[in-house]
């Protein structure tokens, strides 16, 4: 195949992305991959991105290239030659919102269509059909760019490609026959964490109502393990138990398999909450100081419990009973 016959790739420009940020853009990525199956997709991050890290094993069939620390933000005298050095793209989707950085990409990247998330879709080749203002939420905003390019609805459906080993291990640790409710008590920011005493109280209430609480514990939550075991002995922590290396599981693979077996889950505003939402687990999301409209998980089966509904802005303002009642709602469908 000659260079002239090679399909132009599609570029997606993003800023710094943690796991939750990348997961909020995953429905958009799935939509673009389905809409343009013959186009390689390049994910270009100004800094770090979970697409090159935690999510990399699941992106092998979707992303042709992931570039981190691309240096395409500032200063312009350094950004412009870097943009010019990139190949010609069929389409460019820019998720960033600083006018200057988006303008530089619009002017100095070679492309046949440019779509960005600036107010009013300024600098975009066209707007989504029937829409003049951009959505507030990250996930919906990105999907609107796919709709603009497609000139219509975008198909964002999909699921993670995980191994049968992962699903078999999850089935061993969460056997069929019980109603499992996941509890995700951590996050990278302490201000977004509901107090551990309330997670324990919620677990006890769920247990008393006939559900089995399943704590989703990552390395950052290791200090919670002893307290949970002492206070809620019937709670399960399937990710804490050792995993045989011979199974060949990659990071997050067991978490995804566990999420598939949960009847519902409750989570802080955190990466695992966004993962649960993308997997399709009915989800209760607890929000304190962060912007619900912007960072709400992408789910059609979710309930938001906000501190502001109880007269405050901190996670401590959310009562246990409110979280429990919300969990009962999503369990009831």
CA 97 to CA 118: how far, in whole Å? 6
- pLDDT tens readout for residues 84-117: 999 999 999 999 999 999 999 999 999 999 999 9
CA 283 to CA 263: how far, in whole Å? 9
pTM above 0.85, yes or no: yes
* Cα dihedral: 113, 117, 122, 123 (round 10): -30
pLDDT above 50 (res 182): yes
| pLDDT interval class at 4 (50, 70, 90) | low
Looking at per-residue pLDDT, the higher value among 215 and 218 belongs to 215
Does residue 283 contact residue 273 with C-beta atoms inside 8 Å? yes
pLDDT above 80 (res 333): yes
Fold (topology level) of 3-150: Rossmann fold (3.40.50)
pLDDT on residue 198 = 97
pLDDT on residue 2 = 37
- pLDDT tens readout for residues 5-60: 689 999 999 999 999 999 999 999 999 999 999 999 999 999 999 999 999 999 99
pLDDT on residue 222 = 86
High-pLDDT (> 70) share of the chain, %: 98
pLDDT above 60 (res 1): no
CATH code for the domain defined by 164-331: 3.40.50.2000
Q: Which of 78-92, 171-185, 186-200 shows the lowest mean pLDDT across its residues?
A: 186-200
Arithmetic mean of pLDDT, 148-158: 96
Query: Residue 4 to residues 8, 33, 88: CA-CA distances in angstroms?
Result: 9, 22, 11
Does residue 278 contact residue 298 with C-beta atoms inside 8 Å? yes
Q: Considering the chain, what is the average pLDDT of its residues?
A: 95
Query: Residue 305 to residues 80, 95, 296: CA-CA distances in angstroms?
Result: 44, 27, 11
Does residue 163 contact residue 256 with C-beta atoms inside 8 Å? no
pLDDT above 90 (res 63): yes
Does residue 118 contact residue 124 with C-beta atoms inside 8 Å? yes
CA 123 to CA 151: how far, in whole Å? 17
CA 144 to CA 193: how far, in whole Å? 31
pLDDT on residue 212 = 98
Q: Phi/psi zone of residue 209: left (φ > 0), alpha (ψ -120 to 50 degrees), beta?
A: alpha
pLDDT above 90 (res 178): yes
- pLDDT tens readout for residues 221-263: 888 999 999 999 999 999 999 999 999 999 999 999 999 999 9
Per-domain residue ranges of the chain: 3-150, 164-331
CA 57 to CA 129: how far, in whole Å? 34
């Amino acid at each position: 195949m000659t260079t002239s016959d090679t399909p132009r790739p599609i570029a997606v420009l993003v800023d710094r992305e943690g796991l939750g940020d990348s997961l909020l853009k995953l429905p958009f990525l799935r939509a673009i991959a389905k809409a343009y199956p013959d186009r390689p997709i390049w994910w270009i991050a100004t800094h770090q991105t979970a697409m090159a890290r935690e999510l990399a094993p699941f992106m092998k069939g979707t992303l042709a290239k992931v570039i981190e620390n691309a240096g395409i933000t500032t200063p312009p005298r350094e950004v412009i030659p870097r943009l010019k050095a990139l190949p010609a793209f069929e389409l460019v989707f820019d998720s960033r919102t600083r006018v200057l950085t988006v303008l530089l990409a619009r002017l100095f990247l070679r492309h046949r269509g440019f779509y960005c998330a600036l107010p009013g879709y300024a600098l975009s080749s066209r707007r989504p059909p029937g829409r003049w203002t951009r959505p507030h939420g990250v996930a919906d905003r990105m999907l609107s760019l796919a709709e603009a390019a497609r000139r219509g609805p975008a198909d964002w459906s999909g699921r993670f490609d995980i191994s049968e080993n992962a699903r078999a291990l999850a089935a061993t640790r969460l056997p069929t026959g019980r109603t499992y409710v996941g509890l995700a008590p951590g996050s990278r920011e302490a201000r977004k964490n509901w107090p551990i005493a309330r997670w324990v109280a919620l677990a006890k209430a769920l247990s008393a109502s006939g559900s089995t609480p399943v704590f989703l514990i990552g390395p950052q939550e290791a200090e919670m393990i002893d307290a949970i075991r002492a206070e809620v002995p019937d709670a399960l922590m399937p990710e804490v138990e050792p995993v045989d290396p011979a199974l060949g599981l990659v990071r997050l693979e067991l978490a995804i398999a566990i999420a598939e077996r949960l009847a519902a889950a409750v989570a802080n505003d955190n990466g695992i909450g966004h993962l649960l939402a993308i997997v399709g687990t009915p989800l209760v999301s607890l929000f304190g100081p962060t912007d619900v409209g912007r960072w709400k998980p992408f789910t059609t089966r979710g309930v938001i419990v906000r501190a502001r509904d109880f007269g405050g802005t901190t996670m401590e303002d959310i009562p246990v009973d409110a979280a429990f009642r919300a969990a009962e709602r999503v369990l009831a469908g």
